[in-house]
Amino acid sequence: MMTSVLFQRARVIDPRNGVDGIRDVLVTDGRVAQVSEAVLPAPKDARVVDATGKWVVPGFIDLHVHLREPGEEGKETVLTGCRAAVAGGFTGVVAMPNTKVVNDSALVTELVLSRARDAALCHVYPAGAITKGLKGEELSEAGELVGAGCVALTDDGRPVMNAALMRRVLQYATLFDVPVMVHEEDLTLSAGGAMHEGATSTRLGLRGIPASAEVAMVARDLVLLEETKGRLHVAHVSCEGSVRLIREAKKRGLRVTCEVAPHHFTLDDRAVGDYDTHAKMAPPLRADADVKALREALVDGTVDAIATDHAPHGVSDKQVEFEKGINGIVGLETALGLTLALVHEGVLTPRRAVELLSEGPARVFGLPGGHLAPGSPADITVVSPGEEWTVDAHRFYSRSRNTPFHGRTLKGRVTQTWVGGRCVFEDGQLKESR
Protein backbone atom coordinates (compact mmCIF):
# COMPACT_ATOMS: atom_id res chain seq x y z
CA MET A 1 0.00 0.00 0.00
CA MET A 2 1.22 3.49 -0.89
CA THR A 3 2.48 5.24 2.22
CA SER A 4 3.68 8.58 0.80
CA VAL A 5 2.08 11.37 -1.20
CA LEU A 6 3.82 14.48 -2.47
CA PHE A 7 1.75 17.52 -3.41
CA GLN A 8 3.91 19.69 -5.64
CA ARG A 9 3.79 23.46 -6.16
CA ALA A 10 0.40 24.08 -4.54
CA ARG A 11 -0.77 27.27 -2.95
CA VAL A 12 -0.85 25.99 0.60
CA ILE A 13 -3.19 27.92 2.88
CA ASP A 14 -2.88 26.94 6.54
CA PRO A 15 -4.26 29.76 8.72
CA ARG A 16 -3.32 28.23 12.07
CA ASN A 17 0.35 28.07 11.11
CA GLY A 18 0.45 31.32 9.13
CA VAL A 19 1.18 29.67 5.80
CA ASP A 20 -0.09 31.11 2.52
CA GLY A 21 2.20 30.54 -0.42
CA ILE A 22 3.61 28.09 -2.91
CA ARG A 23 4.77 24.97 -1.12
CA ASP A 24 5.37 21.26 -1.50
CA VAL A 25 3.59 19.04 1.02
CA LEU A 26 4.84 15.56 1.85
CA VAL A 27 2.51 13.06 3.50
CA THR A 28 3.85 9.86 5.03
CA ASP A 29 1.90 7.11 6.77
CA GLY A 30 -1.26 9.18 7.03
CA ARG A 31 0.32 12.29 8.51
CA VAL A 32 1.83 15.49 7.23
CA ALA A 33 5.58 15.00 7.22
CA GLN A 34 6.85 18.23 5.70
CA VAL A 35 5.65 21.54 4.24
CA SER A 36 8.45 23.16 2.27
CA GLU A 37 9.04 26.26 0.18
CA ALA A 38 11.76 24.30 -1.59
CA VAL A 39 10.97 21.60 -4.12
CA LEU A 40 10.96 18.28 -2.31
CA PRO A 41 12.30 15.07 -3.86
CA ALA A 42 9.65 12.39 -4.24
CA PRO A 43 10.24 9.35 -2.02
CA LYS A 44 10.40 6.00 -3.76
CA ASP A 45 6.91 4.69 -4.61
CA ALA A 46 5.26 7.96 -3.53
CA ARG A 47 2.26 9.25 -5.41
CA VAL A 48 3.07 12.66 -6.86
CA VAL A 49 0.22 15.15 -7.23
CA ASP A 50 0.91 18.14 -9.47
CA ALA A 51 -1.07 20.82 -7.65
CA THR A 52 0.03 23.76 -9.76
CA GLY A 53 -2.75 26.33 -9.77
CA LYS A 54 -4.57 24.52 -6.97
CA TRP A 55 -4.99 25.22 -3.27
CA VAL A 56 -3.95 22.59 -0.77
CA VAL A 57 -5.74 23.32 2.50
CA PRO A 58 -6.66 21.57 5.74
CA GLY A 59 -9.67 19.30 5.28
CA PHE A 60 -12.95 21.08 5.89
CA ILE A 61 -14.94 20.31 9.05
CA ASP A 62 -18.71 20.81 9.25
CA LEU A 63 -20.08 21.34 12.74
CA HIS A 64 -23.71 20.91 11.73
CA VAL A 65 -24.86 17.94 9.63
CA HIS A 66 -28.02 15.83 9.73
CA LEU A 67 -27.20 12.27 8.67
CA ARG A 68 -30.75 11.04 9.43
CA GLU A 69 -29.59 7.58 10.55
CA PRO A 70 -31.04 5.90 12.55
CA GLY A 71 -34.67 6.28 11.56
CA GLU A 72 -34.90 8.21 8.29
CA GLU A 73 -32.55 6.31 6.00
CA GLY A 74 -34.72 7.16 3.00
CA LYS A 75 -33.48 10.75 3.27
CA GLU A 76 -29.84 10.08 4.13
CA THR A 77 -27.62 7.51 5.79
CA VAL A 78 -24.27 7.84 7.45
CA LEU A 79 -22.76 6.35 4.28
CA THR A 80 -24.50 8.66 1.80
CA GLY A 81 -23.91 11.64 4.04
CA CYS A 82 -20.20 10.83 4.19
CA ARG A 83 -20.15 10.52 0.41
CA ALA A 84 -21.66 13.98 0.10
CA ALA A 85 -19.20 15.30 2.68
CA VAL A 86 -16.03 14.19 0.93
CA ALA A 87 -17.45 15.33 -2.42
CA GLY A 88 -17.72 18.77 -0.83
CA GLY A 89 -14.20 18.65 0.61
CA PHE A 90 -15.22 17.83 4.19
CA THR A 91 -12.99 15.39 6.03
CA GLY A 92 -15.03 15.60 9.24
CA VAL A 93 -18.68 16.23 10.13
CA VAL A 94 -20.56 16.60 13.41
CA ALA A 95 -23.75 14.53 13.31
CA MET A 96 -26.83 16.09 14.91
CA PRO A 97 -28.80 13.96 17.40
CA ASN A 98 -32.34 14.72 16.17
CA THR A 99 -32.69 11.43 14.36
CA LYS A 100 -35.94 9.46 14.62
CA VAL A 101 -34.21 7.37 17.26
CA VAL A 102 -32.79 10.33 19.18
CA ASN A 103 -29.12 10.21 20.09
CA ASP A 104 -29.68 10.61 23.81
CA SER A 105 -27.84 7.44 24.85
CA ALA A 106 -24.48 5.76 24.40
CA LEU A 107 -26.17 3.02 22.39
CA VAL A 108 -27.21 5.39 19.60
CA THR A 109 -23.85 7.18 19.69
CA GLU A 110 -22.08 3.85 19.23
CA LEU A 111 -24.38 2.96 16.33
CA VAL A 112 -23.53 6.18 14.50
CA LEU A 113 -19.81 5.63 15.08
CA SER A 114 -20.09 2.03 13.87
CA ARG A 115 -21.82 3.15 10.66
CA ALA A 116 -19.08 5.75 10.16
CA ARG A 117 -16.36 3.12 10.52
CA ASP A 118 -18.18 0.97 7.96
CA ALA A 119 -18.41 3.91 5.54
CA ALA A 120 -14.65 4.52 5.90
CA LEU A 121 -14.78 7.89 4.17
CA CYS A 122 -14.60 10.79 6.62
CA HIS A 123 -14.56 11.39 10.36
CA VAL A 124 -17.99 11.49 11.98
CA TYR A 125 -18.29 13.14 15.38
CA PRO A 126 -21.68 12.57 17.04
CA ALA A 127 -23.40 15.27 19.06
CA GLY A 128 -25.62 14.12 21.92
CA ALA A 129 -29.05 15.44 22.85
CA ILE A 130 -29.36 17.94 25.68
CA THR A 131 -32.69 16.48 26.78
CA LYS A 132 -34.14 12.99 26.64
CA GLY A 133 -36.10 12.52 23.44
CA LEU A 134 -35.49 16.19 22.60
CA LYS A 135 -38.56 16.94 24.70
CA GLY A 136 -36.98 19.78 26.66
CA GLU A 137 -38.06 18.27 29.96
CA GLU A 138 -35.28 16.12 31.43
CA LEU A 139 -31.53 16.28 30.86
CA SER A 140 -29.85 13.42 29.07
CA GLU A 141 -26.88 11.69 30.68
CA ALA A 142 -24.17 14.00 29.43
CA GLY A 143 -21.35 11.98 30.97
CA GLU A 144 -22.51 8.82 29.25
CA LEU A 145 -22.83 10.60 25.88
CA VAL A 146 -19.41 12.27 26.09
CA GLY A 147 -17.84 9.01 27.25
CA ALA A 148 -19.29 7.25 24.19
CA GLY A 149 -17.79 9.83 21.83
CA CYS A 150 -20.11 12.85 21.64
CA VAL A 151 -18.28 16.14 21.09
CA ALA A 152 -21.15 18.52 21.94
CA LEU A 153 -24.62 18.60 23.45
CA THR A 154 -27.54 19.99 21.45
CA ASP A 155 -31.29 19.69 20.93
CA ASP A 156 -30.69 21.10 17.44
CA GLY A 157 -33.88 21.99 15.66
CA ARG A 158 -35.60 22.53 18.98
CA PRO A 159 -34.87 25.35 21.41
CA VAL A 160 -34.48 24.72 25.12
CA MET A 161 -37.38 26.90 26.21
CA ASN A 162 -36.97 26.13 29.93
CA ALA A 163 -34.41 28.65 31.20
CA ALA A 164 -33.73 26.73 34.41
CA LEU A 165 -32.97 23.59 32.42
CA MET A 166 -30.72 25.54 30.06
CA ARG A 167 -28.84 26.94 33.04
CA ARG A 168 -28.34 23.43 34.43
CA VAL A 169 -26.96 22.01 31.21
CA LEU A 170 -24.48 24.88 30.90
CA GLN A 171 -23.30 24.10 34.41
CA TYR A 172 -23.25 20.34 33.88
CA ALA A 173 -21.38 20.51 30.57
CA THR A 174 -18.49 22.33 32.24
CA LEU A 175 -17.64 19.06 34.00
CA PHE A 176 -16.84 17.54 30.60
CA ASP A 177 -15.64 20.74 28.87
CA VAL A 178 -17.93 20.31 25.87
CA PRO A 179 -19.89 23.09 24.20
CA VAL A 180 -23.65 23.37 24.48
CA MET A 181 -24.91 24.01 20.95
CA VAL A 182 -28.21 25.86 20.73
CA HIS A 183 -30.94 26.47 18.18
CA GLU A 184 -32.17 29.88 19.28
CA GLU A 185 -35.91 30.33 18.75
CA ASP A 186 -38.52 31.67 21.13
CA LEU A 187 -41.48 29.52 20.18
CA THR A 188 -43.95 32.03 21.62
CA LEU A 189 -42.74 34.51 18.98
CA SER A 190 -42.29 32.13 16.06
CA ALA A 191 -45.41 29.99 16.53
CA GLY A 192 -47.31 29.59 13.26
CA GLY A 193 -44.68 31.41 11.23
CA ALA A 194 -43.44 30.05 7.92
CA MET A 195 -40.78 32.57 6.86
CA HIS A 196 -39.09 35.79 7.94
CA GLU A 197 -41.47 38.56 8.95
CA GLY A 198 -41.11 41.34 6.41
CA ALA A 199 -42.27 42.74 3.09
CA THR A 200 -42.04 39.38 1.31
CA SER A 201 -44.11 37.53 3.90
CA THR A 202 -46.72 40.29 3.70
CA ARG A 203 -46.84 40.08 -0.11
CA LEU A 204 -47.21 36.30 -0.01
CA GLY A 205 -49.76 36.35 2.77
CA LEU A 206 -47.61 34.11 4.99
CA ARG A 207 -47.31 34.49 8.72
CA GLY A 208 -43.85 35.76 9.55
CA ILE A 209 -41.21 34.86 12.12
CA PRO A 210 -39.68 38.04 13.59
CA ALA A 211 -35.95 38.36 14.08
CA SER A 212 -36.68 38.85 17.77
CA ALA A 213 -37.59 35.15 18.02
CA GLU A 214 -33.89 34.38 17.62
CA VAL A 215 -32.35 37.46 19.19
CA ALA A 216 -34.32 37.22 22.44
CA MET A 217 -33.11 33.66 23.02
CA VAL A 218 -29.51 34.58 22.24
CA ALA A 219 -29.76 37.35 24.83
CA ARG A 220 -31.22 34.96 27.43
CA ASP A 221 -28.56 32.33 26.92
CA LEU A 222 -25.72 34.84 27.04
CA VAL A 223 -26.99 35.97 30.45
CA LEU A 224 -27.02 32.34 31.60
CA LEU A 225 -23.57 31.76 30.09
CA GLU A 226 -22.06 34.66 31.97
CA GLU A 227 -23.43 33.30 35.21
CA THR A 228 -22.44 29.66 34.68
CA LYS A 229 -19.03 30.21 32.99
CA GLY A 230 -19.90 27.45 30.54
CA ARG A 231 -19.33 27.05 26.80
CA LEU A 232 -22.08 28.12 24.40
CA HIS A 233 -22.13 27.57 20.65
CA VAL A 234 -24.89 29.33 18.73
CA ALA A 235 -25.97 27.38 15.67
CA HIS A 236 -26.98 28.88 12.32
CA VAL A 237 -27.00 32.55 13.32
CA SER A 238 -29.27 34.49 10.95
CA CYS A 239 -29.91 37.98 12.40
CA GLU A 240 -28.00 41.22 12.76
CA GLY A 241 -29.19 41.48 16.37
CA SER A 242 -27.75 38.08 17.23
CA VAL A 243 -24.41 38.99 15.68
CA ARG A 244 -24.27 42.20 17.67
CA LEU A 245 -24.95 40.43 20.97
CA ILE A 246 -22.39 37.69 20.29
CA ARG A 247 -19.76 40.21 19.26
CA GLU A 248 -20.26 42.16 22.50
CA ALA A 249 -20.22 38.96 24.58
CA LYS A 250 -16.90 37.91 23.06
CA LYS A 251 -15.40 41.28 23.87
CA ARG A 252 -16.44 40.70 27.50
CA GLY A 253 -14.62 37.38 27.52
CA LEU A 254 -17.58 34.99 27.50
CA ARG A 255 -16.94 31.53 26.07
CA VAL A 256 -19.34 31.86 23.18
CA THR A 257 -18.82 30.76 19.60
CA CYS A 258 -21.10 30.70 16.61
CA GLU A 259 -21.56 29.46 13.07
CA VAL A 260 -23.25 30.79 9.95
CA ALA A 261 -24.65 28.68 7.10
CA PRO A 262 -23.89 29.47 3.44
CA HIS A 263 -27.57 29.91 2.61
CA HIS A 264 -27.90 32.62 5.25
CA PHE A 265 -24.97 34.68 3.95
CA THR A 266 -25.98 34.13 0.31
CA LEU A 267 -29.78 34.47 0.14
CA ASP A 268 -32.35 36.77 1.71
CA ASP A 269 -36.07 36.20 2.18
CA ARG A 270 -36.84 37.24 -1.40
CA ALA A 271 -35.51 33.83 -2.48
CA VAL A 272 -38.83 32.39 -1.33
CA GLY A 273 -40.14 33.96 -4.54
CA ASP A 274 -43.55 32.46 -5.22
CA TYR A 275 -43.72 29.95 -2.38
CA ASP A 276 -40.52 28.00 -3.17
CA THR A 277 -40.25 25.43 -0.36
CA HIS A 278 -36.59 24.83 -1.24
CA ALA A 279 -36.01 28.23 0.38
CA LYS A 280 -37.86 27.23 3.57
CA MET A 281 -35.61 26.63 6.54
CA ALA A 282 -35.20 27.28 10.25
CA PRO A 283 -34.10 29.86 11.06
CA PRO A 284 -35.64 31.38 7.95
CA LEU A 285 -33.85 33.39 5.32
CA ARG A 286 -33.76 36.92 6.67
CA ALA A 287 -33.68 40.46 5.30
CA ASP A 288 -30.93 41.92 3.15
CA ALA A 289 -29.63 43.91 6.13
CA ASP A 290 -29.17 40.67 8.06
CA VAL A 291 -27.23 39.12 5.17
CA LYS A 292 -24.90 42.12 5.15
CA ALA A 293 -24.43 41.86 8.92
CA LEU A 294 -23.55 38.17 8.66
CA ARG A 295 -20.96 38.93 6.00
CA GLU A 296 -19.41 41.61 8.18
CA ALA A 297 -19.28 39.14 11.07
CA LEU A 298 -17.53 36.57 8.89
CA VAL A 299 -14.87 39.16 8.13
CA ASP A 300 -14.30 40.60 11.60
CA GLY A 301 -13.99 37.30 13.45
CA THR A 302 -17.32 37.31 15.27
CA VAL A 303 -18.27 34.14 13.38
CA ASP A 304 -16.05 31.17 14.18
CA ALA A 305 -17.15 28.70 11.52
CA ILE A 306 -19.12 28.16 8.36
CA ALA A 307 -21.42 25.17 8.87
CA THR A 308 -23.91 23.86 6.35
CA ASP A 309 -26.84 22.67 8.49
CA HIS A 310 -27.09 19.93 5.85
CA ALA A 311 -30.72 18.82 6.19
CA PRO A 312 -31.82 16.19 3.66
CA HIS A 313 -35.53 15.80 2.89
CA GLY A 314 -37.53 13.83 0.36
CA VAL A 315 -39.59 15.16 -2.54
CA SER A 316 -42.86 14.67 -0.67
CA ASP A 317 -41.58 16.88 2.16
CA LYS A 318 -41.14 19.83 -0.19
CA GLN A 319 -43.81 19.44 -2.89
CA VAL A 320 -46.55 20.75 -0.62
CA GLU A 321 -48.05 24.11 0.36
CA PHE A 322 -45.35 26.42 1.70
CA GLU A 323 -46.69 26.41 5.27
CA LYS A 324 -46.65 22.60 5.33
CA GLY A 325 -43.17 22.22 3.81
CA ILE A 326 -40.47 20.82 6.09
CA ASN A 327 -37.60 23.16 6.90
CA GLY A 328 -34.11 22.52 5.59
CA ILE A 329 -31.80 22.16 2.60
CA VAL A 330 -28.80 20.02 1.73
CA GLY A 331 -25.52 21.90 1.79
CA LEU A 332 -22.38 19.76 1.90
CA GLU A 333 -21.76 19.75 -1.85
CA THR A 334 -22.35 23.48 -2.44
CA ALA A 335 -20.64 24.96 0.64
CA LEU A 336 -17.25 25.60 -0.94
CA GLY A 337 -18.62 27.28 -4.05
CA LEU A 338 -20.91 29.54 -2.03
CA THR A 339 -18.08 30.44 0.36
CA LEU A 340 -15.67 31.19 -2.47
CA ALA A 341 -18.29 33.47 -4.01
CA LEU A 342 -17.48 35.79 -1.10
CA VAL A 343 -13.79 35.51 -1.98
CA HIS A 344 -14.41 36.32 -5.64
CA GLU A 345 -16.57 39.28 -4.56
CA GLY A 346 -13.75 40.58 -2.36
CA VAL A 347 -15.67 40.09 0.90
CA LEU A 348 -13.37 37.39 2.32
CA THR A 349 -9.69 36.70 1.76
CA PRO A 350 -8.79 33.15 0.71
CA ARG A 351 -7.08 32.67 4.07
CA ARG A 352 -10.17 33.71 6.03
CA ALA A 353 -12.43 31.49 3.92
CA VAL A 354 -10.21 28.48 4.59
CA GLU A 355 -10.05 29.34 8.29
CA LEU A 356 -13.85 29.39 8.55
CA LEU A 357 -14.12 25.97 6.90
CA SER A 358 -11.26 24.21 8.69
CA GLU A 359 -9.25 25.70 11.56
CA GLY A 360 -12.23 27.55 13.05
CA PRO A 361 -14.53 24.51 13.35
CA ALA A 362 -11.70 22.35 14.70
CA ARG A 363 -10.91 24.92 17.39
CA VAL A 364 -14.53 25.48 18.42
CA PHE A 365 -15.24 21.82 19.19
CA GLY A 366 -11.66 20.75 19.97
CA LEU A 367 -11.48 18.37 17.03
CA PRO A 368 -8.37 16.88 15.40
CA GLY A 369 -7.18 18.46 12.18
CA GLY A 370 -7.81 21.94 10.88
CA HIS A 371 -4.15 22.56 10.09
CA LEU A 372 -1.18 21.10 8.21
CA ALA A 373 1.69 21.24 10.70
CA PRO A 374 4.11 18.31 10.54
CA GLY A 375 2.67 15.44 12.53
CA SER A 376 -0.94 16.48 12.00
CA PRO A 377 -3.45 14.10 10.38
CA ALA A 378 -3.22 14.18 6.59
CA ASP A 379 -6.80 15.38 6.20
CA ILE A 380 -6.41 17.53 3.11
CA THR A 381 -8.67 19.21 0.58
CA VAL A 382 -7.40 20.20 -2.86
CA VAL A 383 -9.33 23.07 -4.43
CA SER A 384 -9.49 24.42 -7.95
CA PRO A 385 -10.45 28.00 -7.02
CA GLY A 386 -11.25 29.28 -10.51
CA GLU A 387 -13.18 26.31 -11.89
CA GLU A 388 -16.77 27.14 -12.81
CA TRP A 389 -19.51 24.55 -12.51
CA THR A 390 -23.27 24.43 -12.46
CA VAL A 391 -25.11 22.93 -9.51
CA ASP A 392 -27.09 19.87 -10.59
CA ALA A 393 -29.02 18.48 -7.64
CA HIS A 394 -29.67 15.25 -9.55
CA ARG A 395 -25.95 14.50 -9.42
CA PHE A 396 -25.49 15.01 -5.70
CA TYR A 397 -23.95 12.17 -3.72
CA SER A 398 -26.44 12.98 -0.99
CA ARG A 399 -29.57 10.85 -1.08
CA SER A 400 -31.71 14.03 -1.13
CA ARG A 401 -32.04 16.86 -3.64
CA ASN A 402 -33.61 19.73 -1.67
CA THR A 403 -31.60 22.80 -2.60
CA PRO A 404 -32.46 26.32 -3.78
CA PHE A 405 -29.16 26.43 -5.67
CA HIS A 406 -30.02 23.96 -8.46
CA GLY A 407 -28.93 25.52 -11.76
CA ARG A 408 -26.71 28.17 -10.16
CA THR A 409 -23.20 28.61 -11.55
CA LEU A 410 -20.51 28.59 -8.87
CA LYS A 411 -16.78 29.23 -9.10
CA GLY A 412 -14.44 27.02 -7.09
CA ARG A 413 -14.55 23.25 -6.83
CA VAL A 414 -13.03 20.41 -4.83
CA THR A 415 -10.76 18.24 -6.97
CA GLN A 416 -9.45 15.89 -4.27
CA THR A 417 -10.26 15.00 -0.67
CA TRP A 418 -7.75 13.07 1.43
CA VAL A 419 -8.53 11.54 4.84
CA GLY A 420 -5.67 10.12 6.86
CA GLY A 421 -3.45 10.19 3.79
CA ARG A 422 -5.94 8.21 1.68
CA CYS A 423 -7.61 9.76 -1.35
CA VAL A 424 -11.36 9.31 -0.91
CA PHE A 425 -12.59 11.66 -3.64
CA GLU A 426 -10.92 12.70 -6.89
CA ASP A 427 -12.11 14.50 -10.01
CA GLY A 428 -15.77 14.02 -9.25
CA GLN A 429 -15.50 10.36 -8.30
CA LEU A 430 -15.54 8.59 -4.95
CA LYS A 431 -12.60 6.36 -4.06
CA GLU A 432 -14.27 3.98 -1.65
CA SER A 433 -12.44 1.09 -0.02
CA ARG A 434 -15.65 -0.73 0.81
Q: Are 344 and 69 in contact (CB under 8 A)?
A: no
* φ, ψ (nearest 5 deg) of residue 49: -110, 115
What is the set of active-site residues? Answer: 309
DSSP H stretches of helix in 322-379: 335-344, 350-357, 359-365
**CA 167 to each of CA 98, 236, 413, 421: distance values in angstroms, whole numbers, following the listed order:** 21, 21, 43, 42
CA gap 255, 147 in Å, rounded: 23
To the question of whether residue 50 is assigned a binding role by annotation, the answer is: no
CA gap 251, 137 in Å, rounded: 33
To the question of whether residue 310 is assigned a binding role by annotation, the answer is: no
**CA 255 to each of CA 62, 109, 222: distance values in angstroms, whole numbers, following the listed order:** 20, 26, 9
CA gap 52, 287 in Å, rounded: 41
CA gap 185, 100 in Å, rounded: 21
To the question of whether residue 183 is assigned a binding role by annotation, the answer is: yes
> 249 in helix, strand or coil?
helix
To the question of whether residue 67 is assigned a binding role by annotation, the answer is: yes
> 421 in helix, strand or coil?
coil
To the question of whether residue 156 is assigned a binding role by annotation, the answer is: yes
Q: Concatenate the DSSP letters of all residues of 207-225 into one string.
A: -EE-THHHHHHHHHHHHHH
Contacts of 236 (CB under 8 A, 6+ apart): 64, 183, 259, 260, 261, 264, 283, 307, 309
To the question of whether residue 401 is assigned a binding role by annotation, the answer is: no
To the question of whether residue 313 is assigned a binding role by annotation, the answer is: yes
To the question of whether residue 268 is assigned a binding role by annotation, the answer is: no
* φ, ψ (nearest 5 deg) of residue 360: -60, -55
Query: In what helix (H) or strand (E) does residue 143 lie, and over which residues does it extend?
Result: helix 142-148
List, as residue ranges, the binding site for substrate: 66-68, 98, 313
Residues annotated within a binding site for Zn(2+): 64, 66, 156, 183, 236, 309
Known binding-site positions: 64, 66-68, 98, 156, 183, 236, 309, 313
